[in-house]
A and B are shown apart, each in its own frame.
Chain A
Amino acid sequence: MIRGASKLVNINVQVKPGEKVVIASDFNKAHIAKVLAIAVLESGAEPTVLLMAPRQAHGLEPPAPIAAALAAADVIFTPAEKSLGQTVAIAEARKKGARVVILSEVTEDLLISGPIEADFEAQEPLCKKLADLLTQAKEAKVTSRLGTHLTMSLVGRNGRALSGLIRNPGDFGSPPNIEASICPVEGTAEGILVVDGSIAGIGKLSSPIKETIKKGFVIKVEGGPEALRLQNTLESAHDVNAYNVAELGLGLNPKSKLTGFLLEDESILGSIHIALGTNIFMGGKTKTLMHIDQIILKPTLRLDNKMIIEEGEIKV
């Protein structure tokens, strides 16, 4: 595990001697926090590990003492059960210049092999290029052999490059995830989406889920047992915004495979993910209780009719 942790510290974030590094973790992930702290120590920086009771859901604020510690950090790692990524505490710390690595649901495996072994620097130019293409595009169209046929407007929305390299003040990422992503304009997604990879919080799918999407919202979910779980999750928000088509993301990590683990799955090279729910933290306007990523394997993606991904192969 120390090798993966060292890579995050020394390559992805380039932690420098004397920097104040806060590892905000919880009682269930303390073992991972410890390995990161050792890697930080080796780099000559000053680690502080903070452990709290695991939050009940993604996006819940950490307690005030942890928020205060984050605001005083140069670098933040969050190996926590639930993601702190979309919290005011992290947003404030970034404003003050902290470099932030979100590691929600992180496991030991993730620091040992697989996507952590990617050459992040080599992927960065492609990541930036795709983010630029997303920014420039007016419309995205996703199709697949399984029956996906979905269009959405991207007008006025900026793509973001999450290259997994977090080297400048305010940078943010979830390595080993590498993705380029964007928020489609609310109310514009139309068509059919067939999810065949995995879904955050549910895991790998045993059979595909078919979603009918009208005016930017999922209006129908069909499929096997996982479809039912997804329906139940969405209903539990008691908020129509949970059904909002919130994100289009392109996975760019050549070492990622389908494992059911979100940080790995959403970064599978040539996959895309369509998330439902909140998108306010990525430039959209919707805020609700959840943000559910859904991974689609081997999609075809066109931006303004230009082929970007063809059946899982990137054509850029």
Chain B
Amino acid sequence: MFKGARTLVETCAQVKKGENVLIVTDTTKIGTGIAESLAAAAHAVGAEAIISVMTARQSDGEEPPKPVAEAMKKSDVFFTPVDKSITHTLAVKEALAAGARAIMMSDYTGDLLISGGIEADFYALEPICDKVVELFTIAKQAELTTPGGTRLTMNIEGRKGRVLRGIIKPGEFGAIPNIEAGTSPIEGSAEGIIVVDASVPYLGIGVVSQPIRVTVKKGFITEIEGGAEARKLKEDLAKRKDPNVYNIAEIALGLNPKARLCGIMMEDEGVLGVAHIGFGTNIMHGGKIKTELHYDLLMRNATLKLDGKAILENGSLKI
């Protein structure tokens, strides 16, 4: 794990000697070696490494305790190997506003520090990230198709592209090994069929054992069909009793050639050639909907056309 921790510390977060590096972890993740490896890697470059341990949060988006939030604001860099995501919290927002560089590591496992996406050449990925995010920003129309049967169109005009990079700048966060670029389609505009044949990295589903067929009309999911995994997803959404959980919230492409499908969100969404459609909340992706969840549907060997021009064709980048 130490090699991967060094990559995160030295390459991705660009930690310098004397910087305050805070590792925000919780009672479920301390002892797994992730926080410890990061602290050792930060210490090795001469930074001041601090591990902060809180009780595991009850749900995604729950604020950390105030002392942790205050510590985050005073750190130059922070990492968050925690169980439930704290990415979309006030604490993170304020720490980033104060200029911190962050690497979000919710639901992380030691494996992610050993092989796969962590082995990417993150410097080489930077210009690709820049290019793809720009293409999303200028495009008006997106069309996603896959050999599995996906055919979804949506309006993305006026929405800014969004990128999760491998090399983090002050005030930004990353979710390495997830390197992705995408945007949030205009609400109500998505139409078509999504056939999920890669992964749903939520609800314990992971890599799907049989395809899930999702019908989308006027920007909302109207039908979910398939096997046991489809039913699990459908039932979870039904019990939220909020139509906005069905909102098509995001379209994005994985850009990490070393990432491989394993059922963990941070790795799966980064896989080059895999596209994902997020649904539910889109406020952090540039949209207007806030609801209690944001899930993603992942498809293999995607083809994405922006204004009729393919930028990804059967899983290969065409830029």
**Which of A's residues lie within 8 Å of B, judged by CB?**
20, 22, 27, 37, 41, 46-53, 63-73
Q: Is the CB of B67 within 8 A of A22?
A: yes
- Distance to closest chain A CB from B11 (angstroms): 22
Q: Is the CB of A48 within 8 A of B20?
A: no
Q: Is the CB of A49 within 8 A of B53?
A: yes
- Distance to closest chain A CB from B100 (angstroms): 10
User: What are 13 A-B pairs with beta-carbon distances under 8 A?
Assistant: A46-B55, A47-B55, A48-B65, A50-B50, A51-B52, A52-B49, A65-B70, A65-B72, A66-B71, A68-B71, A69-B67, A70-B67, A72-B66
Q: Is the CB of A51 within 8 A of B55?
A: no
Indicate which residue in B49, B65, B74 contacts A64 across the interface (CB closer than 8 Å): B74
- Distance to closest chain A CB from B63 (angstroms): 11
Name the A residues within 8 Å of B75 (CB-CB). Answer: 64-65
Say if the beta carbon of B73 comes within 8 Å of chain A. Answer: yes
Q: Report if A48-B48 is in contact (Cβ < 8 Å); known contacts: A41-B55, A65-B72, A67-B74.
A: no
Say if the beta carbon of B43 comes within 8 Å of chain A. Answer: yes
Q: Report if A50-B51 is in contact (Cβ < 8 Å); known contacts: A22-B67, A65-B74, A65-B75.
A: yes
Q: Report if A53-B48 is in contact (Cβ < 8 Å); known contacts: A46-B55, A48-B54.
A: yes
Closest chain B residue to A40, Cβ basis: B55
Q: Is the CB of B70 within 8 A of A69?
A: yes
Q: Is the CB of B70 within 8 A of A52?
A: no
In the complex, the number of residue pairs spanning A and B with C-beta atoms less than 8 Å apart equals 74
Name the A residues within 8 Å of B22 (CB-CB). Answer: 65
Say if the beta carbon of B68 comes within 8 Å of chain A. Answer: yes
- Distance to closest chain B CB from A142 (angstroms): 43
- Restricting to B22-68, which residues have a CB under 8 Å from any CB of A? 22, 39, 43, 48-55, 65-68
**Which of B's residues lie within 8 Å of A, judged by CB?**
20, 22, 39, 43, 48-55, 65-75
Q: Is the CB of B55 within 8 A of A50?
A: no
- Distance to closest chain A CB from B304 (angstroms): 41
- Distance to closest chain B CB from A36 (angstroms): 12
- Distance to closest chain B CB from A272 (angstroms): 37
Q: How far is the CA of A283 from the CA of B53 in the complex (A)?
A: 35
Name the B residues within 8 Å of A47 (CB-CB). Answer: 54-55
Q: Is the CB of B20 within 8 A of A73?
A: no
- Distance to closest chain A CB from B303 (angstroms): 46
Closest chain A residue to B31, Cβ basis: A34
- Distance to closest chain A CB from B52 (angstroms): 5
Q: Is the CB of A53 within 8 A of B55?
A: no
Q: Is the CB of B66 within 8 A of A63?
A: no
- Distance to closest chain A CB from B95 (angstroms): 10
Q: How far is the CA of A177 from the CA of B52 in the complex (A)?
A: 28
Q: Is the CB of B54 within 8 A of A68?
A: no
**Extra pairs beyond A51-B39, A51-B51, A51-B53 (5, CB < 8 Å):** A49-B53, A52-B48, A65-B75, A72-B66, A72-B70
Q: How far is the CA of A50 from the CA of B54 in the complex (A)?
A: 9
Q: Is the CB of B70 within 8 A of A37?
A: no
Q: How far is the CA of A71 from the CA of B74 in the complex (A)?
A: 12
Q: Report if A48-B53 is in contact (Cβ < 8 Å); known contacts: A68-B71, A70-B67.
A: yes
Q: Is the CB of A66 within 8 A of B53?
A: no
Q: Report if A68-B70 is in contact (Cβ < 8 Å); known contacts: A48-B53, A51-B53, A63-B20.
A: yes
Q: How far is the CA of A64 from the CA of B69 in the complex (A)?
A: 13
The interface centre, meaning the residue of B43, B54, B70 with most chain A CB atoms within 10 A of its CB, is: B70
Q: Report if A51-B50 is in contact (Cβ < 8 Å); known contacts: A69-B67, A73-B67.
A: yes
Closest chain A residue to B78, Cβ basis: A65
Closest chain B residue to A64, Cβ basis: B74
- Distance to closest chain A CB from B77 (angstroms): 10
Q: Report if A50-B52 is in contact (Cβ < 8 Å); known contacts: A20-B65, A20-B67.
A: yes
Name the A residues within 8 Å of B71 (CB-CB). Answer: 50, 65-66, 68-69
Indicate which residue in A49, A51, A71 contacts B70 across the interface (CB closer than 8 Å): A71
Name the A residues within 8 Å of B50 (CB-CB). Answer: 50-52, 63, 65-66
Q: Is the CB of B66 within 8 A of A20?
A: yes
Q: How far is the CA of A67 from the CA of B67 in the complex (A)?
A: 9
Q: Report if A49-B67 is in contact (Cβ < 8 Å); known contacts: A63-B20, A64-B20.
A: no
Name the A residues within 8 Å of B68 (CB-CB). Answer: 48, 69
The interface centre, meaning the residue of B43, B51, B72, B73 with most chain A CB atoms within 10 A of its CB, is: B51
- Distance to closest chain B CB from A19 (angstroms): 11
Q: How far is the CA of A49 from the CA of B68 in the complex (A)?
A: 9
Name the B residues within 8 Å of A67 (CB-CB). Answer: 74
Q: Report if A68-B73 is in contact (Cβ < 8 Å); known contacts: A63-B48, A73-B67.
A: yes
Closest chain A residue to B54, Cβ basis: A48
Q: Is the CB of A72 within 8 A of B20?
A: no
